[in-house]
Amino acid sequence: MDHRNSRAATLTVERPVMAGDLRVKVFADGADLEGIRSLYGNPLIQGFTTNPTLMRKAGITDYAGFARELLEVVPDRPISFEVFSDEFADMERQARLISAWGDNVYVKIPATNCQGVRSDGLLRGLCGAGVKVNVTGITTPAQVEWVAECVGGGPPCYISLFAGRVADTGLDPVPGMQAALEIIDRLAPNAELIWASPREILNVVQADRIGCHIITVTHDLLKKLPLLGKDLDQFSLETVRMFHDDAQTAGYTL
C-alpha cells in the first residue's frame, strides 16, 4: 500500500473563514491619524489601540495633542492610550489624566515597571477608582492570573497577552491564550482578553476559533483581511501571473 496516497486521502480542507463571519472583535493598532480616520469608517473595526513606540515611529511629538485629535476622530469606540512613566505614583497621575479624556478611553498599564516590579498595587487602586485599564506587556498565563485577581470586580477592562511575541520565541501561543480565557472567566468576568501583536491573518482566525474577545491588528496587516476565504486556486494563478509579469517588466532574458 502506498502510505503517501493513504495519508493524502485523509486530508480535509477547512471551511474558509470570511471577514463577515468573525466573532472576535478587531481593534486597529497604530498611530497614523489619517489611517485611523479611514478605518473608523470600516464597521469591522470595533476599537483602536496605540502605544508610545507606534507614536514615536509616526513622528508624533505632542502626546496629549495627538490623543485629543484622535478622540475627535474616534469619539464612540474603545481606544487605549498608554502611560509612559516608570514610577508607580506618576503612572497613577498619568492614568487618571488620560482616563479623563473620554468615556471610551482605556488606560494602558504595563504589567511591571522597567525593573520588573509588578504593577498590582497600581492596578487595584485604579480599578477601585473606576479607571478602565488595558494591562499590557503580558506574555504568560501566570501573569494573566495575578492581573485578573487585581482587576476582577472592577470596571470593564482589557488584558493584553502578546501572542505574537510568544510565537516569536518558537512557542505555539494558542494553548496559553486558551488558558488565559479560562482564568479571566473564573477571576475577572469584567475583563476581555486581547490577542496582541499578531504576525499574520491566520492569527485572526485562531483568535476567533478559541473565543478570544479581541485581537489588535496593525494597519498594514489589516490590508490583508480581504484575503480571508479567498479561493486558493485563484490565488495560485495570481501568484504565477505576478512572477511572469515581473520577469517581463524587468526584461530578463536567458
Cell of 222: 489589516
Report field, pTM of the whole predicted structure over 0.75: yes
pLDDT tens digits, 52-75: 999 999 999 999 999 999 999 999
pLDDT tens digits, 65-109: 999 999 999 999 999 999 999 999 999 999 999 999 999 999 999
Mean pLDDT of the chain: 94
pLDDT tens digits, 9-28: 444 446 677 777 899 999 99
DSSP notation for 76-134: SS-EEEE---SSHHHHHHHHHHHHTT-TTEEEEEESB-TT--B-HHHHHHHHHTT--EE
The answer to whether residue 254 sits within a structural domain is no
How many angstroms separate the CA atoms of 220 and 231, rounded? 22
108 carries an active-site annotation: yes
Q: What is the pLDDT of residue 14?
A: 64
Q: Bigger pLDDT: 43 or 8?
A: 43
For residue 95, the enclosing domain spans 19-226
The answer to whether residue 157 sits within a structural domain is yes
Q: What is the CA radius of gyration of the chain?
A: 21
* Residue position matching grid coordinates 517581463: 248
Strands (E), the chain: 25-29, 45-49, 79-82, 105-110, 133-138, 157-161, 191-195, 214-218
Distances in Å between the Cα of 109 and the Cα atoms of 15, 66, 96, 121, 179 are 38, 19, 11, 12, 22
Q: Cβ–Cβ contacts within 10 Å for residue 45, how many?
A: 20
pLDDT tens digits, 145-181: 999 999 999 999 999 999 999 999 999 999 999 999 9
Phi, psi of 3 (to 5 degrees): -65, -30
Cell of 107: 488606560
The answer to whether residue 156 sits within a structural domain is yes
The answer to whether residue 39 sits within a structural domain is yes
Total domain count, the chain: 1
Q: What is the pLDDT of residue 18?
A: 76
pLDDT tens digits, 191-236: 999 999 999 999 999 999 999 999 999 999 999 999 999 999 999 9
Interhelix angle for 33-40 vs 63-73, to 10°?
Answer: 20
CATH code where residue 115 lies: 3.20.20.70
The answer to whether residue 233 sits within a structural domain is no
The answer to whether residue 246 sits within a structural domain is no
Please identify which of the residues 108, 132, 223, 230 carries the catalytic annotation.
108
The answer to whether residue 8 sits within a structural domain is no
The answer to whether residue 72 sits within a structural domain is yes
Q: What is the pLDDT of residue 231?
A: 94
Q: What is the pLDDT of residue 20?
A: 77
